[in-house]
A and B are shown apart, each in its own frame.
Chain A
Amino acid sequence: MSLNEFLSMGGYGTYVWSSYGISALVLFINVIQPVLRERKTVRELQKRFQTMQQHQPDSKS
């Protein structure tokens, strides 16, 4: 099977590849969004705990 043949999908290429493309995009967003959000949450909390510790330096050694 040649690459062209594979891409044309027996004439249904537009339909097949557009549905796979949209799915890939939606799944990609569903990976990136929670990963970025977790990073942001962790960073914000770390910052908050740091400033808290600076205000009460003897609370924890």
Chain B
Amino acid sequence: MKLPRWIHQFGSPKYFYELSLWLSRWVAIVCVICFVCGLYGGLVLAPADYQQGDSFRIMYIHVPSAWMSLFIYMVMAVAGGIGLIWRIKLAEIVARSSAPIGASFTFLALVTGAIWGKPMWGTWWVWDARLTSELILLFLYLGYIALQSAFEDRRVAARAGAILALVGIVNIPIIHYSVEWWSTLHQGPTITKMDKPSIHLSMLIPLLFMVLAFKTFFISTLLIRARSEILEYECNASWVKQLLGSNNVTK
């Protein structure tokens, strides 16, 4: 199967590098604005929950982290798959750069969940479906990262990692539906019931800001990580020499 030409152009490391320079900056600015709005709304403006009191405010980091842990895994697996099939270097770079950010968010989802669980459920941890499958997700990320450093050749590592990520995709629907398939301590979805979300607007709007903040955080740090990777991959390319050659020593 052939890809349209613009995809290859976008996938050209030089083009992407230049685009990412200003994109990462602007996305970071949006990210900071969303964090300020989300934190102010979530910690100050939103009223305490009638059942959970103020402990529900952990939601504003727990829920976005958990969503991002799944989202980034999908990005990693799809980018890995694209790299595997069409050998697009940039896709391999995106997959590899996503892994540490995804692992961080998975870690945060687990830790904030435990801290929230202690006062609400009376326990830090239970071996139920949602928590266990999320823990497996963390191990998938860590396995991917370990695999990346196990190979000398970056491209071989990328291919091995992509296969691991694609196999591990099975876990994603399991995490998502675990609260419906098995009886669990973890509550069911409250936000994604779009017809009638069971959460008040004053609590929902800060959450949406936090979700956007986490998403833009991922995009801008992903771009920075990808730039280092591109320079290392392409260190013999003429455009890198031109960019960083002694004529252009600015930093």
Contact = CB atoms under 8 A, between A and B. Distances in A.
Given A15-B119, A19-B62, A26-B104, A38 B55 contact: no
Given A12-B54, A30-B221, A34-B228, A23 B251 contact: no
A31 to B, nearest CB: 6
Among B54, B111, B112, B116, max chain A CB count under 10 A is at B54
Contacts, number: 96
A15 B116 contact: yes
B53 A41 contact: no
B240 A16 contact: no
B235 interface: yes
Contacts of B100: 30, 33
Interface of A is mostly: helix
A49 B245 contact: yes
Q: Is the interface of B mostly helix, strand, loop or mixed?
A: helix
A44 to B, nearest CB: 9
A55 interface: no
Interface residues of B, number: 39
Given A23-B108, A38-B227, A41-B231, A11 B53 contact: yes
16 contacts: A10-B55, A12-B55, A15-B118, A15-B119, A16-B57, A16-B58, A19-B58, A19-B61, A22-B115, A34-B224, A35-B224, A37-B225, A45-B231, A45-B235, A45-B244, A60-B247
Sorted from nearest, which 6 A-B pairs have the closest CB atoms? A10-B54, A9-B54, A12-B55, A19-B112, A34-B224, A19-B115
